[in-house]
Each structure stands twice: as C-alpha cells, then as structure tokens.
Structure 1
Amino acid sequence: MPTSLVEITETEMFVPESEALAKRLQDGLRQHFAEATVEWVNCPDLTQEPFNLAASGLCGDAVLLEIGSISQLFPRPRVMFNYHFKDILKELYNNYNNVLVIGAGIGLRQSNQQLGELFVNASFSGSRATGNSLKLKNQSRLAFLDQATGKCALESITDNCNLACYPHGNFFISEGKPGKVLKVQAKNCTGLHFLTAMQCTLSQYSVDITPKLVGLGGTFVMKNGRARHHVMPYSWNDKLKTARNIHNWLHYCDLDAPLIAVGTLISDSSYYEKSCQRAGKNGYGLTQSHFHAYSSNRVGGHFHTEIQPTNAEYLGYFHPAKMFYHMDPQPRYDGLQDFTDIMLYW
C-alpha cells in the first residue's frame, strides 16, 4: 500500500509565556478537581517507569501533526492510505538527528489486516545532511478486539524498520531532549474529566481578544481509578453513517489504573480553519483531544474518561508545540469531528 502525502497545511502555533500557561491550566483544573497543581519542572527521565518512552524528554523543536481525520474511517476505512513515519519526518522535520514521536492513531495488525488503536512511542536517529537512513527504536503498541475472546487485547509493535499510521492520528514530535516541561497533577474529579478539563482550559486561548491556536503533547499516568476506553470491532459495519451508529458499533472496555497514555491537545480549531481559508487552503476541523492508553495487564485503547471520578488521580508531563501540521485534511463526517462527540450517546 503506497504512502500518500497529498496535502499538508502548516500553521504557526502560539506558545504562551511559561508561568501564565501553567497558571491558566492550574486554575482550569481546580474548577473540576479537588486537588490540582501545574508547574514547570526539569523533565524527569521518561524512559524510566512508569512512562517507558523511547526518549528521555519532550523538548526541542516541538510540533503537532494530525493525519487526516476520522472521516477517513467512515463509512469504511480508506486503508489504502498509509503514512510511514520515516517519510513524514523527511517531509516535515528538517533536522532529525534525534526525534521522538508519541501519540494516538489507527494501526493495522499485519497478521489479519485488522484495524486497532495505535499507541505510538518511537524514536528516530539519523540525519538528512549526512545521507544516513533513519534508525528506528520502536516501543509502540496496538490495542484491538480479540476475535477469539471478544475482549480487548494489546500487542507490542517490535518492527524496528518501519512504523506506519493508517487513515487517522494525532502526534507530538520533538527532539526528545531534557528540559523544562509542564508537570500536571490532579486528584478527585468533581466536574469535567481530566482531558476535557485540560482542553476546555486551552480553548480559552481561542476566545481571547486575539484568538490563538495553542497545543500540547505529552504523556500521563492515571495512577488511581478506572477509565473507559474503546477499540474497534474486528468486523466492519457498512451502515456507520451517524455518531449514534458509530457509538453502538464501537467496543467499550473499562480499565483499571495504573494506565499510561500518550497524545495531544489543542485549544480549538476555529482559528486554524479561518487561517487556512485566508490562505486559500482547506482547513477542516481538528481533533481537539486524542490519547491512547494501555496497562501492564496487556489491555488498552482510546482513552475517554474516568468512570470513578472521586478515585481518579493523574500525573502528566506535557510540552507546548510551536507548529501544527495537518496532512491530508478532510471534512467532518456527518458533523462528527472526533471520537469525543460519541460520548453524547453514553
């Protein structure tokens, strides 16, 4: 299946002043959690437990990448469009001596061509300047519905030659260096759940006097509690034409902490859409929050929300991005922008 790099839009992101961003996030989280702190700290070594990332930090030339949209999945997935990260980095990243890619997307099981929830955790080394090919350290995973058991399952992706995303995904790309990062702690949810509270707080930047596009990427551990996830069934339904249809089709599973997640958050897509329109380009709605998670019990999926709010406890490390790339932008599918919209039908 050939890689298709049809169209790429590039939008400069607003990087708020460090302490102002931390205070805004902390104030926002404290409206929805009994305890919440956000501060800038020296990034711990994220290659260690519990995060086990493929690089030690999140700093250095950080950007966000969205591939397609969920409209490329419905009513049937366009699996002929696959995106190899080595090709993407050559297209987007000028200097890639060392690159960390983390995030959430759609993956394909090679054994039976079944789609699953892709947890990307990979580092690349090499330089275009020297003509060396990129070397891949791949610690990614794929969550899927096991046809034999009817339950959620997880497998490691051990291919150190290639890593690809199928029709949709959201990724944080950086040099994986140590440096200052946002440390986010929250405990005992009393209102909006963790990711919604974070995203809604960021969305304030899109309604300020001068609206801006702000985005974060990173990783968090749900230290305590229980969270709802989904994986896609192993058989496709040609009648997936509305958000309600998709909700009824997805397979939900409730997973116990500890859970490790990676992904991205953006403030709002309205600024992006308008800036693309002014440039004469297609700028369709963006996925505002996209995280995939897994546990040591070999289960995982698309992270939605805690289902035991008073027990929920989070620790996360995030970094703002300076650039946003959208590869092969697509219009919304029946008004459905991302998977958070299906939560209306729970």
Structure 2
Amino acid sequence: MSELPVQRIDLEPPPLHELSNSIKNELAQNFESASVSVEQCPDLRQAPYNLAFAGLCGSPRIADVGGQPNLAPTPDFTKKYDLLNITKLMEMPEEQGALLGAAAGPFHVVGMNSELMPNLRWEGGEVVNETHFAKVKDDGSALCEKLPSHFCALMANLFGSAGLPGDALHITASSRTSTLNFTEAIRTALQDAYGTRTISLGGVFLISKGKAKLHIMPDFSTTPLVTDEQKQEWLRFYEMEAPLVCLSVLHSHDPGLDLRIEHTHCFSDHGEGGHYHYDTTPEEVQYEGWFNVAEVLYRIDRP
C-alpha cells in the first residue's frame, strides 16, 4: 500500500468568508431560499449528522484514490485499499484524525460490489468507525447499513482533517428552482469565482425533507461496460426518502490530475442510501450542509 504512487499539490484556499460570498449568489439563483455563512460547526457526532468526529477542522486535505477506470470497462480486482493506510499517504498524523467521503465498497469484505460512505476517526490507537455501505439485494431492493471495516476498493474521494470543532461553511438551501443539484450549484459558484484556480471542498450535508434519486452499483457486470449507455443500464436507480446524510467531496477545477470533480454518497438510519444524483421533490426539498476547504490535494494510485 505504501508503494502506491502519490501526486501532491499545495492549494491556496481562500478565507471561508470569501468563499461564503462567492457561493451565496449562485445558490440564490437556484433555490427559492438559501443562505451561506461562516459559523462554528455543531458537534457532528450528534444527530442528525451522526459522524464519527466532532468537526471538519485541523489540517483539512482531500485525496482522490484510484478511479472509474478501475471499474469499467472491466473491474481490476487488485485494487483493494485500506483507508487507514491511505491516511498515511495523505500525510495525516497517526495520533488523531478523521475521514469522510464516497468510495466503492470493499468487494473482498462485503462479498459483492457496493457503495461506501467512509466515516471514521482514530485517536490514540483507537478507531471509531461509523462507515455505512449500500448494496443491491438479490430481490433488487436496496440495503444500507453500517460496515465495521476500514477497507474500500477501486476508487475513493476522501476529505481528511483532525476532526476538530471550528469554523466551517454553513450552507442551507430549500425549494430548488433550477436544474442544478445542491453540489452542482456550489461547484458552479466556485468555478465562476475562481476560474482555473482549484478550490476543493469536503463535508457533510443533510437532506432533511423530500426525496432524492440515488444509485447503487449492483454486483460486477459479466460483460464489459464500454459505453455510457451500458453503464447507466447496469446501475440500479432508486428514489429514497429524507432524512439522508450525504458525505461530499468536490472541486472547482481539475489541475490535470484526472480528478473526479464531485462525488457524494448518502446514508440513513432507515436502511436507504447510495450515490447522490439530485432531489426529486424540488418544491419541498431542504438541504443543510457544513463544509471546509482543503489546504492540500493528493492524487493516489491514479489509473
């Protein structure tokens, strides 16, 4: 694992207040009601967020591990990753840290392909793991539940920090009025404001009202997935109910690292979760999110 190739870029993150002002206008154009402020984030270990750590502060960093070429057209079954080893490649301290994000589930643990919602912290040798996964059951229905594993496979988009409380971007939006989803509106705002300067955010948002379109990867395809149409037909799509806790990583610009520009996975305590696409009830949807901006970007095991 320590031999995986790593590319590292030091980012120049703007102050949170500047980011807040950049995001406000775009959200207002896409939602009937929206707000962006810089606030001390609540204890994210508590409901409704249920993270493994209190906050998003302390040396924030983002890693893009592996990638979609490891999945299609045919899966590369050698691509098994240990998230705790990945944190070392992200130059995170062994004494204390936290990780959240979106990844492909560890097929070698689950027994099949799945979606993963990494959500863990470590402190003094102890690991607290609130990671969930979502899979397609034999009858075609979806299942989302906790997975007491720190492995993933194929691809992962991860936000790491010390997991400490502190200031973060507090973003709310309700009643969507455009075709952009919540994360697309944030990304578009950053693109418009910063152009080819890379701004990378990670954090958590809650869909507290409404429903959302999510997908779950079924078990691996027996035939190569070459075209986008084949991939879409292979995926399983579901409409899922709030409340959904969504772990998200996004970038305003790819500085030539083949980044996945946005990746968000959702979990819940009512058995629903998966890969976020957009809400399906624009008039009633309500979002509330907490994000921090990364200081360093890592591209690990780029295909």
Distance 2:3 2:288 in 1: 36
When structure 1 is superposed on structure 2, of 302-311 and 75-84 the one drifting more is 75-84
Q: Does 1:303 align with 2:303?
A: no
Q: What is the CA distance between 1:323 and its match in structure 2?
A: 0.5
TM-score (norm 2): 0.95
When structure 1 is superposed on structure 2, of 84-93 and 44-53 the one drifting more is 84-93
Equivalent in the alignment of 1:46 = 44
Pick from 143, 157, 173: which aligns with 2:160? 173
Q: Does 1:156 align with 2:146?
A: yes
Could you tell me the percent identity over the aligned residues? 28
Which consecutive segments of 4 or more residues in structure 1 shift more than 3 A?
109-112
Equivalent in the alignment of 1:141 = 132
Equivalent in the alignment of 1:268 = 253
Q: What is the CA distance between 1:268 and its match in structure 2?
A: 1.4
Q: What is the CA distance between 1:203 and its match in structure 2?
A: 1.7
When structure 1 is superposed on structure 2, of 52-61 and 111-120 the one drifting more is 111-120
Q: What is the CA distance between 1:239 and its match in structure 2?
A: 2.9
Q: What is the CA distance between 1:90 and its match in structure 2?
A: 2.4
Question: Contact 1:96/1:175 (CA < 8 Å) preserved in 2?
Answer: no
Pick from 189, 193, 209: which aligns with 2:181? 193
Residue aligned with 1:57, SS: coil
Residue aligned with 1:309, SS: coil
**CA 1:286–1:103 in structure 2 vs 1: closer, same or farther (change >3 Å)?**
same
Distance 1:258 1:95 in 2: 33
Equivalent in the alignment of 2:243 = 258
Pick from 112, 118, 121: which aligns with 1:120? 118
**CA 1:104–1:28 in structure 2 vs 1: closer, same or farther (change >3 Å)?**
same
Question: Contact 1:225/1:311 (CA < 8 Å) preserved in 2?
Answer: yes
Query: Which blocks of at least 5 consecutive residues in structure 1 are unaligned?
Result: 127-133, 274-282, 331-346
Residue aligned with 1:31, SS: helix
Larger of the two Rg values belongs to structure: 1
What whole-Å deviation, never above 9, does each CA across 1:22-78 have from its counterpart, x for those lacking one?
011111111101111000001111000001111111100000011011111011221
**CA 1:112–1:178 in structure 2 vs 1: closer, same or farther (change >3 Å)?**
closer
Equivalent in the alignment of 1:37 = 35
CA RMSD, Structure 1 to Structure 2 (Å): 1.5
Equivalent in the alignment of 1:93 = 91
Equivalent in the alignment of 1:227 = 212
**CA 1:95–1:294 in structure 2 vs 1: closer, same or farther (change >3 Å)?**
closer
Give the number of equivalent residue pairs: 302
Equivalent in the alignment of 1:279 = none
**CA 1:122–1:317 in structure 2 vs 1: closer, same or farther (change >3 Å)?**
same
What whole-Å deviation, never above 9, does each CA across 1:126-184 have from its counterpart, x for those lacking one?
3xxxxxxx43111101101001x21111121124xxx1120101010000001101100
Question: Contact 1:220/1:260 (CA < 8 Å) preserved in 2?
Answer: yes
Q: What amino acid does structure 2 have at the position aligned with 1:197?
A: A
When structure 1 is superposed on structure 2, of 292-301 and 57-66 the one drifting more is 292-301
Question: Contact 1:205/1:214 (CA < 8 Å) preserved in 2?
Answer: no
Distance 2:51 2:203 in 1: 10
Distance 1:47 1:22 in 2: 24
Question: Contact 1:38/1:184 (CA < 8 Å) preserved in 2?
Answer: yes
Distance 1:111 1:120 in 2: 14
**CA 1:7–1:190 in structure 2 vs 1: closer, same or farther (change >3 Å)?**
same
Query: Which blocks of at least 5 consecutive residues in structure 2 are unaligned?
Result: none
Q: Does 1:83 align with 2:56?
A: no
Question: Contact 2:215/2:238 (CA < 8 Å) preserved in 1?
Answer: yes
